[in-house]
Amino acid sequence: MQNLNRKARKWLWGLVVLGLIAAVPLTVLRVQMEDSSNQVEFVVNYRDVLRIGSYYGEPEDFVAGQLEHMREAGVTTMAVFESNLDELSWAGRVALYSSAQMALLQGEPAPVNANYAYVLFPDARTAEALTPMIETTFAKAEVQVEPWAYEGRPGLLLRTSLEDAVVKTMPPDPLALEEIRAAGFQILPRLSDRIRPFEEERVDALLAQFKALGVERILFDGATATGFADEAELGSLRIFGELLNKHGIGLVAIENLSNQQSGFNQLAYATDYDVVRLHSLSDAEAMRLSPETIADRFVLAAKDRNIRMFYMNSQPFRSLEEGGIVHSLDNLYDALRGDEDNAGAIARLADFGFSTGQAKSFDYQHPSWSTPLKGVAALGAIALIALLIGAFLPLLLTPAFVLGLIGSAGLYVLSSALLEQGLALGASIAAPTLALIWVLNRIRLHTEGDRRYVGGSWDESDRRAARSDKLFGGQWVFHGLPAARRLTMAIGLYVAAAVLSLVAVPLIIALLNNVTYSLVLQQFRGVSLLHLAPIALVALYVFLYTGASPLDNLRKLLRLQITVLWVVVAGVLGVAGMYYLSRTGNSGQASSVEMLIRTTLETTIGVRPRFKEFMFAHPLLLAGIFLALRYRAAWVLLIVAAMGQLSMVDTFAHIHTPVYISAIRVALGLGIGLIFGLVLIGVWQLAEGVWRKWGKTLASRLQRL
């Protein structure tokens, strides 16, 4: 079985190479897709503009002036919500009164047992445009609507309270849509699932109206997509998807939602993923952040996360310091156009090849030959996972591969997406782990000699060391390799480890070669496991597989006495591990020094490598290899250095980041990490030389005493 597994290992590596070759065309497809959409769209929440205007003496003049400023700043689109009476009042379309307020206006006593809503239009044109919409909405709510007039101005009497009337959802304000289009802006409708039941004719007419106004896509408002509530009874999502295709209207996906809007994925599939990703700037951020910071966020979102639409919110605030109403619109304009000292978001995005216009979805191609190539890549991933298992349990190498094939076939029948994600996770864990195991074995070869279970030679001193109770046994300091030789070997192993770790990258790209991952409708699963498993497996290999026998090492570990120092060390490692895991997601907080370094790299290079790679893990890997070729205790440094190898793979597991950005980021991290590692080695050599010189002097003085 051992001889069979030795031969199988070569064949499995051959399958890995075959999988890498198959992944090349699929990687090219993804790169072409990522280059197919280079227009960015800047959207302002029109409802916010109306709300701010309602705080000023001449609201309509304020809104008209702001629209002019927005056009000059580079805003392309206005987001328009489904309307309600409150929003219509902010826009000056209606004046709203309760029964008591209307009685006061007419100089009459408040009526008894009457608490109705009165809607007063400014002119006949507005009444003609809005009356049918209001009557239809309240008729569905079984609220009686009656014509009414006051001093020659038309109006409506709604036999419900004003508080109830203002929360009724109506279609978007048709007058606002016309005015926005006439002002030169695109329209981004925000539709909800609050108008029920779903009516195909009504939605068809609404989408036809949008298309006539040049609408290209819609953004959902709320936790559910339009039609989701009635899907079980009416099949409304299917109908809505057909209507979207009929009118050629796509969708917008909001970035970083904790839960995707219910029904969105079904509609995305129905529209053949005519979807654009959107980054939202909250009203608080728009007020608090500097224009430079906002511009940085927009540039990073477009360049690093395939964002093509930016949504800007704003709110009015009462300021005692300013002595009036303040808002963040001017701050947003400065962020877009910049000033003499700082380029704005539009200019900076143009430097990266992004132009301002209507955002387009990615041109995703899925040729017939891509499916068999993905199958070959899956075969390579299974082989890589089997090789990892064989590194710890050599007798299970061939059985692991066979069982992997059988299990993958069964899982493919149940869920092909789950199979792809599982194999991608397995390959991402296997590659960096195998890379560092290979480095450890090369270090052992140049220090202890060939210690393979089959074909290795053992002398009597080795046997005595193996029988001792000393952990690992054997030597702890290795002589014979000069510093220059150790340095060149360390650099060679450093590069080889990176290459072996990155073997997983083409396989991940091939396995997750689907536009749904680029749009984050599906995601790479198991990020936390990826950030822990290689470190744990390398630690297991160092402590159990680098001595005479794994069982002997395990016995020695279990017989170690636990002291207070061990408990303290375990506590420190636990806290460090929790902090490390907190930094694996988007919620981790970076220090001010780290943020300064990030900003400097971003502004000078354009792409910043990962901080933990070039400042910590990569230098530690290079220095660790250099020291491990002389000191056995330094082997444990490779456990921590595993963080950098898995981080490189994780960079490419962010499928929504363009491939070339991830490649530049990893290359920069390796290059800068190499420099810092050389500096670290130089400092160690200097400290070691000083210690040897002064240590001998100190020892001789102690002997004389």
Question: Tens of pLDDT along 647-692?
Answer: 999 999 999 999 999 999 999 999 999 999 999 999 999 988 888 7
Q: For position 460, what pLDDT does the model report?
A: 46
| Crossing angle between the packed helical segments 200-212 and 236-247, to the nearest 10 degrees | 20
DSSP-assigned letter for residue 82: P
Name the pairing type of β-strands 145-150 and 153-158. Answer: antiparallel
Instruction: Return the pLDDT at 456.
Output: 39
Same-domain pairing of 616 and 487: yes
Please report the pLDDT score of residue 464 as a whole number: 52
Residue where one domain finishes, among candidates 170, 199, 234: 170
Per the model's pLDDT, the better-predicted residue between 121 and 549 turns out to be 121
What per-residue confidence (pLDDT) applies to 598? 63
pLDDT at 451 over 60: no
Residue 100 is assigned to a structural domain of this protein: yes
287 in any annotated domain: yes
| Pairing label, strands 95-98, 77-81 | unpaired
Query: Which region among 45-59, 142-156, 510-524, 585-599 has the lowest average model confidence (pLDDT)?
Result: 585-599
Q: Is residue 527 part of a domain?
A: yes
Q: Residue 454 — very low, low, confident or very high, per pLDDT cuts 50/70/90?
A: very low
* 654 inside domain: yes
> Same structural domain for residues 104 and 180?
no
Residue 586 lies in a domain: yes
Question: Residue 540 above 70 pLDDT?
Answer: yes
Q: Which two tokens stand for residue 141?
A: 């709510």
Q: Do 212 and 335 reside in the same domain of the chain?
A: yes
Same domain membership, residue 197 and residue 114: no
pLDDT digits (tens, 9 = 90+) for 400-423: 999 999 999 999 999 999 999 999
Position 548 scores a pLDDT of 67
The predicted model scores a pTM of 0.86
Domain that holds residue 268: 39-82+173-356
421 and 540 housed in the same domain: yes
Total domain count, the chain: 3
Of 292, 323, 356, the last residue of a domain is 356
705 pLDDT exceeds 80?
no
Q: How far apart are CA 360 and CA 539, in angstroms?
A: 47
Average pLDDT of 288-305? 93
**Using the 8-state DSSP alphabet, how is residue 167 labeled?**
T
- Are residues 352 and 425 located together in one domain of the fold? no
Average of per-residue pLDDT values in the chain: 89
My answer on whether 483 and 345 are in the same domain is: no
- The amino acid that residue 406 corresponds to is I
217: CATH = 3.20.20
Q: Give yes or no for a contact between 116 and 101, defined as CB atoms under 8 angstroms apart.
A: no
pLDDT one-digit tens code per residue, 128-143: 999 999 999 999 999 9
Does residue 705 lie in a domain region?
A: no
Q: Are residues 293 and 384 in the same domain?
A: no
In a domain, 247, yes or no: yes
The fraction of the chain above a pLDDT of 90, given in percent, is: 73
pLDDT band for 10, please (50, 70, 90 cuts): very high
pLDDT digits (tens, 9 = 90+) for 463-500: 555 555 556 666 778 887 899 999 999 999 999 999 99
Same domain? For 446 and 559 the reply is yes
Any residues with CB less than 8 A from the CB of 650 and at least 6 apart, and which? 428, 527, 530, 531, 584
More confidently predicted of 507 and 113: 507
* 363: in domain: no
- The verdict on 377 and 415 lying in the same domain is yes
Residues 122 and 219 in one domain: no
Are residue 73 and residue 141 in the same domain, yes or no? no
The three-class DSSP label of residue 355 is strand
Using the 3D structure, point to which of 150, 170, 190 is the last residue of a domain.
Answer: 170
